[in-house]
Structure formats: C-alpha cells, structure tokens
Amino acid sequence: MSGVTGPAAANSSMNRRALAALFVRLGAFAAIGIILLYFAIYARGFTSSYNLQNVVEQSVILTMLAYGMTVVFIGTGTDVQQGGVDLSVAANAGLAGAVFVTLLNLGLPEPLAILAAIFSGMAMGLLNGIAVVLFRIIPLLATLAVMNIATGLELTITGNNVVGASSEFLTMLQFGRFLGISALAWVLIVFTIFVTILVHYSPFGVRLYAVGGFPEAARAAGLNVGFNIYFSYIFSGLCAGIAAVLIVSRLSASTLGTGLHLLPVLAAALLGTVFSRRFVPTIGGTLIASLFVGFLANGFQLLGISSYWVSGVQGALILLVVALTSFAKPAEGG
C-alpha cells in the first residue's frame, strides 16, 4: 500500500492513516458490492423488484431501532462501559407494541392508541435519561434495568400471549402502496430523511455530536450536556414506539420476542460506523449496515443455504470489519 502512496505520504503518519481509513471504507463498500453482485448473479429472483421490496420491508423495523441506537451512540459516545448504549430499545418496542394492541382492542380510537404506543416508548426513554443523567448510573446498567422492566411489563400486559389486532390503518401500512413503493418503505424513507436532517444538517445535530464526542469540552463550551443525553434516550424511545406500530402492522399482532432484536440492532449500529469517514455513528452508515444485514439473510435464503449460518456469517462480518477499521483508527491514548 505504501508503494501506491508515494514519498509524499510516507513522512506523515497522519496521511498514511487517512489513506488506510479511506482504503477500509472503500473496502467495506466494495465487499458489500461484491456480495450483492454475487447474490444478483447466483441467487435466482434476488434482483426482482418484489424481492428487493420485501427485503426493505423486512429491514424497516431493524433500521428504525438501529436509528434509535445510533442517536444514542452519537449523543453519548460509543465507549461501552462509561459511554452510552441503549440496551432497552428492542424491549421498549415490545412494550409499546403491547400497549398499542391492548388499547386498540379495548376500543380506543386508533390515533390515540398509536400516540399511546409512541408515548410509552418515549416514557421508557425518559426513564433511561433520568437514570443516566440524574442518578448517574452507567448507561449500560441503567438501560439494562429499564430493559428488564419493559420486558416484564410487556409480559404482564399480554399475559405471554400473541395478541392480535387489525384495523384499516394497519392493513394500509401492511399492503398499501404509493407510487409503486410500499407504505412501510415510505415510512422508512420519510423517517430517514427526517433523522438525517436532524442529525447531520442542523445545529442541533452538531451539538449532539459534540456532547457525545467529548462531554467535558462540550460542557466547557456551554452546551447543555444533560439535555442532549435526555434527548438521545427519548429519541431512541420514539424510534422504538414507531417501530412497535410497524411490527404490529407487519404481524397483525403484538408478539413476544421483540426484545431479541437487541443484538442485531447493536450490530447494525456498530457496523454502520465503518461507512463514515472518521468511523463515527451516522444515519447513512446505519441504514447501509442494516439493509445489508437484511440482504445477506435474504440472499442466503434464496441460495438455499441453511439459515443456521446467517448469524455466524453476521458475526464473522462484524469481526472482519472491526478488525480492519481498528488498524485504520488513530491509536487510543485514553
């Protein structure tokens, strides 16, 4: 590689590292491209518009939850023990789904039930925020406790049963189309644009990155660190609430096991950092990562490879990607 860079870069380790970073990023894109190309050639029906839409629809829920996790990463840092992570996001969506379905079946008007679901998600997010900001509990632990509470409440509300629900709105979400694109995909598109503007193109987003990147510096610069952390967790709760409505529309029911999305969500949000220039969490990176995870599972299915392999390949992929980036990242002096 140094042969390509020439003497200009050789005297500066900064340059070399930037080049390595570029290499890793391009490599990550190239790897994804090659894998998708392979599927396109060898997996029959992979490129059909029906299949592509199907994958996107399947990925919507994972992506929404991963957005929540990404915003928490941005606003509170990715350091695992001290920084922020929201372990409760998936369980939170499960609880919001249970709230939604139960209220709907009690005869509450649908808009109110949807609001209640989103409110339930945000309330759990607020609880996370209180635990982290006010009580100064380590985020990993605070969100772990909230996760337990959310799972327990979900079990209590649903009595460990699948609770069905149907309405015109849910059917519309499930089967509706507009300009040839399904309603679920529209939700993802609109929400992605909204989050991207909020995080990447607004002063607010800049402050969020500042607080997550270096809290002490942000505090010294006069930013309200606590507010931004509250915001991150409540936003994550909002994502969970919306995801809950989407889950219910896809399955026509609130089912247990939404909490199992936690690890794929974590993986998508962490994997997404590879697609940014400085290996920080970004909305675009998370979107690519979670869509890729969806395409991977789908391609395997079409190739007839046992689904038992999928999580192993995902794990190997995480390790590969992270090992590559760790060589390109600046050394940590921490």
Partner 1 sequence: MDNVKKSIISLEALSNYIVLFAFAAIVVIFSVTTDNFLSLENLYNVVANKVVLLAIVSLGMTIVIAAGGIDLSVGVSVDISGLTFFSLLAAGYSAVLGVGAGLVAALLVGLFNAFLINKLKIDAFLATLGVLFIGSSVQRLATNGGTPITLTTEEYSPIFRAISDSQLFGLPSPVWILVGCSIAVYLLLHKMVFGRFVAVLGAKPGVALYSGVRVPRELSKVFVYCALLCGIAGILLSSQVKSYIPLSGDAFLLDAIGATFIGTALTKDRRPTVIGTLMGVFLLAIMRNGLLLIGWNFFWQQVGIGVLVFVVLALSFGLRRREE
- Interface with partner 1 (CB under 8 A), residue from 142, 283, 287, 296: 142
Question: Of 242 and 267, which CB lies nearer to partner 1 in the complex structure?
Answer: 267
- Compute the distance between CA of residue 144 and CA of residue 325 in angstroms, rounded to an integer: 28
Q: How far is the CB of 175 from partner 1 (least distance, A)?
A: 31
308 belongs to the binding site for partner 1 (CB under 8 A):
yes
Question: Of 77 and 205, which CB lies nearer to partner 1 in the complex structure?
Answer: 77
Q: Residues near 56 by Cβ (< 8 Å), separated by ≥ 6?
A: 182, 184, 185, 188, 291, 294
- Compute the distance between CA of residue 198 and CA of residue 306 in angstroms, rounded to an integer: 40
Question: Of 248 and 266, which CB lies nearer to partner 1 in the complex structure?
Answer: 266
148 belongs to the binding site for partner 1 (CB under 8 A):
yes
Tally helices (H) and strands (E) across the chain: 15, 4
Check if the beta carbon of residue 179 is closer than 8 Å to that of residue 117: no
**What is 50-104 written as a DSSP string?**
HHHHHHHHHHHHHHHHHHHHHHHHHHH-S-TTTS---TTHHHHHHHHHHHHHHHH
Q: How far is the CB of 244 from partner 1 (least distance, A)?
A: 18
Question: Of 6 and 312, which CB lies nearer to partner 1 in the complex structure?
Answer: 312
Q: How far is the CB of 128 from partner 1 (least distance, A)?
A: 10
73-92 binders of partner 1 (CB under 8 A): 80-81
160-189 binders of partner 1 (CB under 8 A): 160
Tokens of 318: 């995480």
15 belongs to the binding site for partner 1 (CB under 8 A):
no
- Compute the distance between CA of residue 166 and CA of residue 213 in angstroms, rounded to an integer: 44
Q: How far is the CB of 297 from partner 1 (least distance, A)?
A: 12
- Count of C-beta atoms within a 10 Å radius of residue 3: 6
Among the listed ranges 46-54, 156-164, 176-184, 222-230, the one in contact with partner 1 (CB under 8 A) is 156-164
- Interface with partner 1 (CB under 8 A), residue from 22, 30, 40, 141: 141
**Strand spans (E) along the chain:** 163-164, 177-178, 181-182, 253-254
Binding mask 254-273 for partner 1 (x = CB under 8 A): ---------x--xx--x---
29 belongs to the binding site for partner 1 (CB under 8 A):
no
- Compute the distance between CA of residue 102 and CA of residue 99 in angstroms, rounded to an integer: 5
Q: Is the dihedral of CA 139, 130, 156, 92 positive or negative?
A: negative
- Interface with partner 1 (CB under 8 A), residue from 9, 35, 115, 140: 140
280 belongs to the binding site for partner 1 (CB under 8 A):
no
31 belongs to the binding site for partner 1 (CB under 8 A):
no
Binding residues for partner 1, rule: CB under 8 A, are 80-81, 131, 134-138, 140-142, 144-153, 155-156, 159-160, 263, 266-267, 270, 306, 308-316, 318-319, 322-323, 326-327, 333-334
